[in-house]
Amino acid sequence: MSGKIQRVRGTRDLLPEDSLLFRFVEESAYEKSLLYGFGEIETPIFEFSDVFHRTLGETSDVVNKETYDFTDRGGESLTLRPEGTAGVARAFISEGMSQNLPLKFYYSGPMFRYERPQKGRYRQFYQLGAECLGYDSPLADVECISLAWDLLQKIGISNDCTLEINTLGDSESRAAYRDALVQYFTAHQDQLSADSKMRLEKNPLRILDSKDEGDKKLNINAPKLEQYLNETSQTFFKKVLAGIERLGIPYKVNSHLVRGLDYYCHTVFEFTTAKLGAQGTVLAGGRYDGLIETMGGPRTPGVGWAAGIDRLADLTPRELAVKSEVLIAVIGADDLGEDESVKVAHEVRSRGLKVENILSGKMGKKMQKANKLGAHYALILGSSEVQGQQVTVKNFGSGEQTTISRSELATFKFSI
């Protein structure tokens, strides 16, 4: 290593001011998920590679280009998790939870993808998500969307976000649509990108996700999924939309919104914003009735979503994350006061109050530091206060200063 020590490209240091927003977003999501009956689950940061390679699909850009794969000392192929759903599904199978259906899980934590870093996109990023397993009712889709909407409202960004929603239909509808796509794209195969030529053989719906400009032009005239939806699929989608409308959640149907993975079906949705430039998706999800079966488990319907904490935090108003609480500075005026200040700070913290014990500098500098920190009160201890079992309380707001006994400190009312 030469030169100065730096962060690895695509990573970030979460400094206290960033962590404040992250913590607020995570706590808000956790509190809301509890209200909906979700239990928290934490899966390992790495899994056997097959967990992600099988579920995300071999034609997925994530698998082909973005996963962090490595071989451990035992010769096992492992992968740092690029998303959360597959790990939850693996836990459902390996922990034998099929007898306990239905189940609802909430998770949060770091994910890893080797992709081009840009604003709102990192190689180590943070996600939170919700998964409902065992629910085949369209009302489960509505409830998942409702939870997402409640979270966006809680963190103050719902007015900046738009719910875009679509249906992929059931397996029968998707099969008919797949055949139509194969026929259309085969006729234009010479115009497809190299990646999409490979997708044409394995999963033609992935072509609709392509970022290649040539592919995008072909997609304009590609067959539309709604032409191939059977009655069951149409009825399911109508019930989802009716449920969203009943809750008063604004939305728009986006027929171009797809999830190219084989296990997705019926509802797919995204909450998008125009405030983050190209990285406009802040939360996305859908129904994945075929996922657990793909992984070797029993057929288990599922629906869920995931959101990037980095992006949510970038949008969240900072004032919502800052708790309005009393800050008390403890200041030792001399050596004896400083020695005793540790005990006084501890006593006040035991009341659940926030205390900053200022330990360096002369008296004037300590008072300036307390002011700079935004302290509401200063507890001043000099030799006379220590010997008399007293403490001087200064209210920075009113400028008033009074001396009380140490016993009174346990019940003294500090208010902003």
Query: Tokens in use for 92?
Result: 């459902």
Interval 352-364 mean pLDDT:
93
In this prediction, residue 260 carries a pLDDT of 61
Domains, the chain, ordered by start: 16-170+230-319 (3.30.930.10), 324-410 (3.40.50.800)
Reduced to 3 states, what is the DSSP secondary structure of residue 275?
coil
Query: Tokens in use for 18?
Result: 């960033």
In this prediction, residue 279 carries a pLDDT of 67
Pairing, β 401-405 against β 390-395 = antiparallel
In this prediction, residue 81 carries a pLDDT of 95
In this prediction, residue 208 carries a pLDDT of 83
Residue 59: pLDDT above 50? no
pLDDT in tens, 93-134: 999 999 999 999 999 999 999 988 777 789 999 999 999 999
Reported as type and span, the H/E element at residue 321 is: helix 318-321
Residue 58: pLDDT above 70? no
DSSP 351-382: TT-EEEEE-SS-HHHHHHHHHHHT-SEEEEE-
pLDDT in tens, 193-206: 988 888 888 788 88
CA distances from 171 to 57, 141, 190, 199, 224 (A): 17, 17, 29, 19, 16
Rounded to whole angstroms, how far apart are CA atoms 108 and 29?
9
Residue 382: pLDDT above 90? yes
Interval 353-382 mean pLDDT:
94
Which residue, 170, 206, 200, 166, is CA-closest to 185?
200
Identify whether the C-beta of residue 251 lies closer than 8 Å to the C-beta of residue 163.
yes
In this prediction, residue 63 carries a pLDDT of 53
Interval 292-299 mean pLDDT:
92
